[in-house]
């Protein structure tokens, strides 16, 4: 039997596993990816990549390749139409989408089928020397010990076996995660008892019929009979290919479903279509009790899943990969402290819980609205309420995942990690750093290092020198970027900003802290050091 030694074993080479491998590979950490599929699954789910997710591709070194893999023209507006009852009716609006927060990120959001995204990542990990990508291989058994992990894998067809040994295993193996189960990590969640159909079809006339709307990529139909669930169309290819999902009765099968009738119920007009795929899945919110047990971690759908409403699932999974990737690299390099790996669950789980709750609340709100208002019962009252919905959708988005309460950031006292917040250019501990131009003309995001970066907007060299000396003492990688505290950088409101490897702010100040060592001890996961004399909070 073939034996492979590595540092991290990544089980599952879907987008999250590949993203984790890219993070580890870029950090120079040897890893093995096990993935049964020789090619990505040809289902165009997971299409909506946020601007934040595209930042990951930038740091993985494949953002240009991602944009090139887009099937829609670059200028095609991403965003949706919400319609009442069907796409032919008088009631619809075009809510503001993710473009409203675009200025707070260094990259623009993208829309492309998940198989295209996975192809870009497959090519990228294949080019990274520390990554061994074993496509065609399934993990069958995971054994954990205090010293390391062993994963047995099988190649199909043929049944060839191999054993991979490493320091850590990460299950990125999807909602039915074998790693989660074998590591004994409890799942849990809410089953909506709602079966959904997912169809991919070609239609040459649907685009033409939708020209009455401003150009958009998605169309969400609300109907009282759906009780808050949606009938949903997404463009895959601008001219012809669509994907569609909708709730169906629990006992529906491919043999009993009239997919064409369901599509026409949602459009409200005759729609010629040629189906390429029809499948089903069950709507539920699931989240594991912890994302770690000993040397085993889980990420992406293996750790959590929720209805695809709003397009969060893949984006949340990619952020898991980045968050865990730099922490594993730090511990394997020797500068990450004992609390660093624990902070993965502490930071990422509340973000998922908040996201799942927002989706569940949205379904309940739509259900209540559709039960309460009806143009057939009272047209004037319905129209008034509908226009109120439209106005509500243009309010500033309050979805802003952050780690304010994380044990490894210097956030405000009593803060908690979560998703409710606001986008701002102010640099705040626990929040994503907003991009800003430096006086060199380059953006600060182009200067951030692979480790920590101290952005020092001051002529005083002392804080940078103190942080650099402390970083050397801890063996921690730190880059210092200096500039003046002039417009537009004054929007950061702080002269000293310590940025983590994942572009989140760990600490801010205006003067050198009493102990740069104390600041770095905590952000690197050495929490006991908080008690050190000269600790900045002390
Ligand atoms: C209809 C629909 C629309 C969606 N739209 C969006 C959207 O717009 N935006 C968004 O962010 N998300 C969206 N999502 C969610 C998104 O598709 C998922 O969150 C995403 O696929 C999760 O990626 P993953 O890598 O965690 O898991 P998966 O994509 O499930 O990948 C898991 C991988 O693990 C492999 N694997 C399984 N078992 C083993 C084993 N034993 N050994 C080795 N490998 C194994 C599998 O082959 C697979 O490749 C949508 C989902 C659906 C259903």
Sign of the C-alpha dihedral computed for residues 351, 355, 358 and 361 taken in this order = negative
| Residue 538 predicted with pLDDT over 60 | no
Which pLDDT belongs to residue 468? 98
Residues 6+ apart with CB under 8 A from 350: 405, 416, 417, 418, 419
Who wins on pLDDT, 384 or 392? 384
The whole-number pLDDT of residue 76 equals 82
**What are 462-491's pLDDT values in tens digits?**
999 999 999 999 999 999 999 999 999 999
Of 41, 32, 56, give the one whose Cα is nearest residue 502: 56
Centre of ligand 1 to C-alpha 165, Å, is 25
Q: How confident is the model at residue 536 (pLDDT cuts 50, 70, 90)?
A: very low
- Higher confidence at residue 503 or residue 529? 503
Over range 238-242, report the average pLDDT. Answer: 83
In percent, how much of the chain has pLDDT > 90? 81
What DSSP string runs through 170-212?
A: EE---TT-HHHHHHT----EEEEEEEEEEEEEE-SSHHHHGGG
Nearest to 170 by CA among 399, 10, 333, 410: 10
The pLDDT assigned to 238 comes to 72
Indicate the average pLDDT of the chain: 93
pLDDT average, residue stretch 107-113 = 93
**How far, in Å, from the CA of 228 to the mean position of ligand 1?**
24
- Model confidence at 190: pLDDT above 90: no
Note the Cα 159 to chain centre separation in Å: 34
72, 313, 399: residue to mutate for ligand 1 pocket, most atoms within 8 A of CB? 313
Query: Ligand 1, atom 13: nearest CA belongs to which residue?
Result: 46
156 — phi, psi (to 5°)?
Answer: -120, 140
Contacts of 344 (CB under 8 A, 6+ apart): 291, 292, 297, 320, 323, 324, 327
Contact indicator for 269, 87 with CB cutoff of 8 Å: yes
Confidence of residue 391 (pLDDT cuts 50, 70, 90): low
**Best probe residue, ligand 1, of 16, 17, 36, 46 (max atoms within 8 Å of C-beta):** 46
Give the tens place of pLDDT for each residue, 342-381.
Answer: 999 999 999 999 999 998 999 999 999 999 999 999 999 9
* Pocket around ligand 1 at a 6 A CB cut-off: 11-17, 34-37, 45-48, 114, 138-139, 172-174, 178, 198, 245, 281, 300-301, 308, 311-315, 317
Number of the ligand 1 atom closest to the C-alpha atom of 179: 41
How far is residue 51's CA from residue 274's CA, in Å, rounded to a whole number?
33
Please state the rounded mean pLDDT for residues 323-346: 97
The pLDDT score that the predictor gives to residue 515 is: 96
284 CA distance to ligand 1 centroid (A)? 15
Predicted TM-score (pTM) of this structure: 0.95
Reported confidence tier of residue 392, pLDDT bands at 50, 70, 90:
low
Closest ligand 1 atom, CA of 137?
43
Ligand 1: which of 153, 155, 174, 183 to mutate, most ligand atoms within 8 Å of CB? 174
For ligand 1, atom 28, which residue shows the shortest CA distance? Answer: 174
pLDDT at 395: 46
Residues 135-184 have pLDDT tens digits of: 999 999 999 999 999 999 999 889 999 999 999 999 999 999 999 999 99
pLDDT tens digits along 67-80: 999 988 877 888 89
Residue 503 above 90 pLDDT?
Answer: yes
Interacting residues of 167 by C-beta distance below 8 A, sequence separation 6+: 7, 8, 148, 149, 295, 332
Q: Which of 52, 53, 80, 314 to mutate to test the pocket of ligand 1 (most atoms within 8 A of CB)?
A: 314
Measured in angstroms, how far is the CA atom of residue 301 from the centroid of ligand 1? 6
Q: What pLDDT, on a 0 to 100 scale, did the predictor assign at position 427?
A: 98
Residue 394 has pLDDT above 50, yes or no: no
């Amino acid at each position: 039997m073939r034996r492979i030694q590595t540092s991290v074993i990544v089980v599952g080479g879907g987008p999250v596993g590949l993203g984790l491998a890219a993070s580890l590979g870029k950090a120079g950490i040897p890893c093995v990816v096990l993935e049964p599929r020789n090619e990505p699954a040809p289902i165009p789910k997971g299409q909506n990549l946020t601007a934040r997710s595209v930042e990951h591709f930038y740091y993985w070194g494949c953002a240009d390749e991602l944009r090139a893999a887009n099937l829609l023209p670059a200028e095609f507006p991403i965003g949706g139409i919400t319609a009442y009852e069907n796409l032919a009716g008088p009631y619809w609006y075009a809510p503001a989408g993710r473009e409203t927060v675009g200025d707070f990120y260094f990259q623009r959001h993208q829309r492309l089928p998940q198989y295209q995204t996975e192809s870009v990542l497959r090519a990228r990990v294949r080019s990274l020397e520390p990554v061994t990508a074993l496509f065609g291989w399934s993990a069958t058994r995971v054994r954990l010990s205090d010293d390391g992990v062993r994963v047995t894998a099988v190649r199909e067809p043929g049944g060839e076996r191999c054993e991979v040994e490493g320091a850590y295993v990460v299950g990125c193996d999807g909602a039915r995660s074998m790693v989660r189960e074998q590591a004994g990590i409890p799942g849990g969640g809410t089953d909506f008892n709602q079966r959904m159909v997912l169809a991919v079809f070609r239609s040459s006339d649907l685009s033409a019929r939708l020209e009455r709307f401003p150009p958009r990529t998605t169309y969400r139909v609300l109907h009282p009979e759906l009780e808050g669930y949606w009938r949903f169309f997404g463009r895959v290819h601008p001219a012809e290919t669509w994907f569609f999902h909708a709730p169906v009765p629990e006992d529906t099968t491919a043999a009993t479903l009239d997919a064409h009738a369901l599509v026409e119920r949602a459009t409200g007009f005759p729609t010629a279509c040629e189906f390429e795929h029809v499948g089903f899945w069950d709507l539920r919110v699931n989240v594991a009790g912890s994302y770690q047990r000993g040397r085993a971690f889980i990420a992406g759908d293996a750790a959590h899943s929720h209805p695809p409403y709003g397009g969060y699932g893949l984006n949340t999974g990619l952020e898991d990969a980045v968050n865990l990737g730099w922490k594993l690299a730090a511990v394997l390099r020797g500068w990450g402290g004992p609390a660093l790996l624990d902070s993965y669950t502490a930071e990422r789980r509340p973000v998922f819980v908040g996201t799942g709750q927002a989706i569940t609340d949205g379904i309940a709100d739509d259900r209540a609205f559709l039960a309460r208002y009806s143009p057939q019962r009272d047209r004037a009252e319905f129209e008034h309420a509908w226009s109120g919905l439209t106005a509500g959708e243009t309010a500033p988005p309050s979805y802003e995942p952050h780690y304010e309460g994380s044990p490894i950031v210097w956030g405000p006292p009593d803060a908690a990690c979560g998703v409710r917040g606001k986008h701002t250019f102010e640099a705040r501990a626990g929040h994503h750093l907003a991009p800003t131009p430096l006086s060199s003309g380059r953006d600060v995001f182009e200067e951030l290092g692979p480790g920590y970066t101290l952005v020092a907007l001051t002529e005083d060299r002392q804080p940078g020198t103190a942080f650099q000396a402390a970083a050397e003492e801890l063996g921690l990688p730190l880059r210092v970027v200096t500039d003046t505290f002039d417009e537009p950088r004054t929007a950061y409101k702080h002269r000293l900003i310590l940025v983590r490897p994942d572009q989140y702010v760990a600490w801010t100040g205006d003067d050198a802290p009493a102990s740069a060592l104390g600041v770095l001890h905590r952000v690197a996961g050495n929490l006991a050091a908080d008690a050190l004399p000269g600790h900045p909070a002390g």
